[in-house]
Structure 1
């Protein structure tokens, strides 16, 4: 195993959907040409290789993870679990998807550090002790990325229900010191998330506006840190932003990762440019 990087990145991770782990014994239509998701698609293959890669390269002592599927209003909540259960926060799926197992633990020390950093920067935060399990925005990709009996602590943190991009940049900036403490920050969402346009999910059927929207994201992250954040904020004015995100909770996590990886000299790298499922490392 190679020596770990001294400063870890913050990752905006395309977390996918439960379709990525669809039970093999249940019939499913053949994947359409160009389809990214599903149990046979390129997104699953990416996650299966990316997880071992980041464990070997970065060797984190803990993972702090944000999910588009957990919003809180009055304060940012930070899980403080001895053992992480799973929260099956989806409906009308096969029974097998409610009997999944991913064993992991929390870390009260890391949870306290997250609350400390947020509070120090004027962001109200509190620990939630054994009050919630990891939602599918975390356990679906992690089942594919990491060993089932995972010995690295996982601490899930909520996003703010305001869904304000600048506030989430500030959340990321507040947590940037974790990167120097061998803690990996993963912020999960998607670059396209709409149920109003079924064609949007496939690059072969999506309107060119969706492709241009994602190109603007990829172009924006090539800039230096301050300008990069400004470019990512400007993405919200793109005419297809609200078509790609009728509700923006799946895009907002990008700002946490961008904020955490926006110190002077921090670069960003698109590590997967799959349509609708771009993954970016900030602070490399």
Structure 2
């Protein structure tokens, strides 16, 4: 038996994780929800291990699922980089910029702004590579890496994109439900994102740095990425730590609202790191300047 599962099953699995839920993936793939669920079950049967913990809503990755997801994303990145290099050889004058960033940053900040960028610069193509790494690499073929941190990187020219802001947020429906049941935010379910990168602020960090009580911090939902956590918050399952890059647009359009707790400004910020090896340095610099202006206007 072929050890590799059919590529279409891997594509469905990757889309579910990137979109945040099977329902969202079905819409993106233009198939039924049952077709997505069936594909996931076929993939699990082929591999011989459960990939999703379906006891959570939305479902979270199991340890096996996390291993497979990392492999799928990393191999897709390498394939995209190879194709970009091939296109550059065929058309060295083409105005194409390749940007590497985390899935959450791509989904909730970068992609929504690229539509306006394309209206102003229809001759420029931006390829977006999502990375499972918290600090995306400037691999061969990558022109820009969007990174969260202190800006002390030496593999490229660093430009400050915007400062972060962290504030607890939740769906309006969740606040109404708490009030109806006589509860308070102090006893609310908290949505946790578990990451090994200490630069990202956890609920324990937030509560300690703002002097808030830890009530409610031990219960709630736990996810391995901010896309799934945000989907859970939008669905009204609890309160999450909202980051400007992740939930800023949802707060602006009132899909999520501040939970009444103080905001926190981290020491780190988002930066654009331009590769010294970029074949499209001028176009890359133009894109970064445009994104900086877009961030400043918000």
Do these two structures clear the TM 0.5 threshold for a shared fold by scoring above it? no
Structure with the larger RCO, 1 or 2 (CA within 8 Å, 6+ apart): 1
TM-score normalized by the length of structure 1: 0.26
Which structure has the larger Rg over C-alpha atoms?
Answer: 2
TM-score normalized by the length of structure 2: 0.26
